Amino acid sequence: MTSTEAEVSRPSRRWLSDLAAGAFHPSLPALLGALLVAVVLFLCCVALLTQDLLAGAGCGYFMADWKDDYAYLTCTVLQAARIESPEPAIALIGASALRESIAGAEYLAGLMTEELGQNFRVLPLTAAGLTHWEASAIADRIAGRVQGVVVLEVSPGKMALPQGFFEDLVRQPRLALDAGAFDEEAHRAGIALPRRTGNFFLDHHGFFSARPWAVLNLVKGPVVPDLHQARTWRVLSEDEWAMAEASLRQRIGGYAENGPRNFEVMGRTIACLREAGGIQVVLLESVRNPRADRIMRDSPECREALTMYEKDVRAHAETWGVPYLDMTAEAELAPGEFIDTSHIWDTDAAKRYTHVLAAHLTALIKNPHTGKEG
């Protein structure tokens, strides 16, 4: 290198070293600037992230990815609670097994319109592992805003959930919903509610902090949700089936202890919907892979719990005067049409199931005083 070249390179090196020093060595002005930016962003969140924003904007703007069904569900519920539509609705409240069983909201709506000669909107209010406690919050928010039929999914696994699971949901909610019914259930269970400020962002900061990268959706555009996620999953191996079987047996084993208390929660949810008026409630048994059902019934303990559950759920439906539908056999669902213990992946199977559900709902709407079970 010549002396001239060396002299030219020294300023650039000095500039780079000064830049590195400024970037990595703290200074009071830099600290104050960072704090100011953080405070401005925080105040923007407090002022702008409201229920109205989530209800008015597209759900995809608040989803971490296409599988983020709790963000999708939160926004969909808030939208349904905000807009009072004259169209009758079919609201489907349940877990991912229900989500994967329906061939699509538009498909079900089309079947209902074809049979009854009027337009229907279908609200798929589903998310993976959705509990009956969270269902009570959803029902509370849509009661009085939705007219039509509300389908509540039930299952032995859901009715066997222990109260400790509810305590976790109160401490770390998966839905950003303010619902008196949910709070009342917590009071009944003796669970202390988190302190509330009255500000939507502050009261649900955990919901937003779990999705920090969702802010990039403002630049990339909204995420497109997928309500048929099972089609992207792989089939369980035999080892995974064995683990799933053990998990099923363990969960069902808690039914005798927890079932009565959980059915009481379900009863209060039905009452909440009825008191609002204009809603017919249906209890829908969650689909179950016939292979999984056979495995559970091979265990004496599980068979006893299932027998008890089946008796209780029918008695519960009779007590509340609501239809109870168990359609796995009627839809002729086969083991090969499931991806695992409870999720349908076959498109034709989902269409058959949706047709059967539409037929039952059509009969109910035409004559709400017909049979209570199907």
* Residues 281-326: tens digit of each pLDDT: 999 999 999 998 888 888 888 899 999 999 999 999 999 999 999 9
299 CB-contact burial (10 Å; exposed 0-12 / middle 13-18 / buried 19+): middle
Which of 91, 97, 235 shows the shortest CA–CA distance to 156? Answer: 97
pLDDT score recorded for residue 367 = 83
Q: What pTM was computed for the model?
A: 0.89
Total Cβ atoms within 10 A of residue 87: 12
Closest Cα partner for 98 from 71, 69, 61, 76? 69
Which positions ≥6 away from 13 have C-beta within 8 Å? none
Q: Cβ(79)–Cβ(88) under 8 Å? A: no
Task: Write down the pLDDT at residue 154.
Answer: 97
- Taking the CA atoms of residue 180, residue 182, residue 183 and residue 188 in that order, the dihedral angle to the nearest 10 degrees is 120
What local confidence, expressed as pLDDT, does residue 2 receive? Answer: 53
> What's residue 8's pLDDT?
46
In the prediction, which pLDDT does 20 show? Answer: 61
pLDDT of residue 19: 55
Q: Which residues of the chain have pLDDT under 50?
A: 4-9, 371, 373-374
**pLDDT value of position 281:** 97
Torsion angle in degrees (nearest 10) through CA of 258, 261, 264, 268: -100
Question: What is d(CA 216, CA 218) in angstroms, rounded to the nearest whole number?
Answer: 5
Sign of the torsion formed by the C-alpha atoms of 114, 117, 123 and 129: negative
SS3 assignment, position 89: strand
Contact 177, 127 (CB under 8 A): no
Residue appearing with tokens 């409201």: 50
Q: What is the pLDDT of residue 183?
A: 96
Q: What is the dihedral of CA 193, 196, 200, 202, to 10 degrees?
A: -100
The architecture that CATH gives domain 67-193+222-366 is 3-Layer(aba) Sandwich (3.40)
What is the rounded distance in angstroms from the CA atom of residue 235 to the CA atom of residue 345? 10
